[in-house]
Structure 1
Amino acid sequence: MTVLVYNQAADWNQELYQSTFDRVIPDRTNPPAGLIAHFASAREAGGWQVIDVWESEDAFRRFLEESIIPAAKDLGAPPFDTSIVELHNSLIP
């Protein structure tokens, strides 16, 4: 089941996000298995947010556990909040 994943953290910023991203996806032409779309930006209230679409929650969780969390820990990054919901519809023109 396709899912929308929303990650956010008040203590993250563009530099920390980019450092983590560069470690976990060093080759943009070879994204992680199951990733459909990825978007990242500053939050209006401060901090950083990432919105992804994944083929399944399992694919996201595998990438989270095997890649994102270890890279974030290596960088001394604070934890982030994650919400996952089943995606009902999408349109990518």
Structure 2
Amino acid sequence: MTVLVYNKGVSWTRELYQTAFDRIMPDRSKPPAGLVVHIGAPLPDGGWQVIDVWETEAQFRDFMRDVVAPVAQEIGAPPFETKVMEVHNLLIP
């Protein structure tokens, strides 16, 4: 089942996000298995949000455990609030 993953980090900044992203995804031509789309953007009132679409929730959870969590711990990043939702329609023209 395809899922949308919404992450919100009110303590995150553009710089912190970019540092994490650069370490997590050093080669943009080789995205993790199952990742359909990734979007990082500022929140209107400060902080940062990340919106991903994954082929399965299991692929997302594995990536978080094996790749994201170690990097976040290494750089001392505060946690995101995460919501996972089933995707009803997905159109990528």
Fold match by TM threshold 0.5: yes
1:92 aligns with 2:77: no
Aligned residue number for residue 58 of structure 1: 58
For each residue in 1:19-69, what CA deviation from the matched residue of structure 2 results, as whole angstroms up to 9, or x when unmatched?
Answer: 111111110000001000000100002100000000000000000011111
- Tell me which amino acid in the other structure corresponds to 1:10: V
Counterparts of 1:80 and 1:2 in 2: how far apart (Å)?
A: 21
Q: Normalised by the size of structure 1, how large is the TM-score?
A: 0.97
Counterparts of 1:15 and 1:70 in 2: how far apart (Å)?
A: 18
Aligned residue number for residue 69 of structure 2: 69
- SS of 1:26's partner is coil
- SS of 1:18's partner is helix
For each residue in 1:1-29, what CA deviation from the matched residue of structure 2 results, as whole angstroms up to 9, or x when unmatched?
Answer: 00000001100011111111111111000
1:18 aligns with 2:6: no
Root mean square deviation, CA, Å: 0.6
- Tell me which amino acid in the other structure corresponds to 2:37: A
> Runs of 5+ in structure 1 lacking a partner?
none
4+ residue runs of structure 1 moved beyond 6 angstroms? none
1:36 aligns with 2:36: yes
Aligned residues: 93
Q: Percent identity?
A: 56
> Runs of 5+ in structure 2 lacking a partner?
none
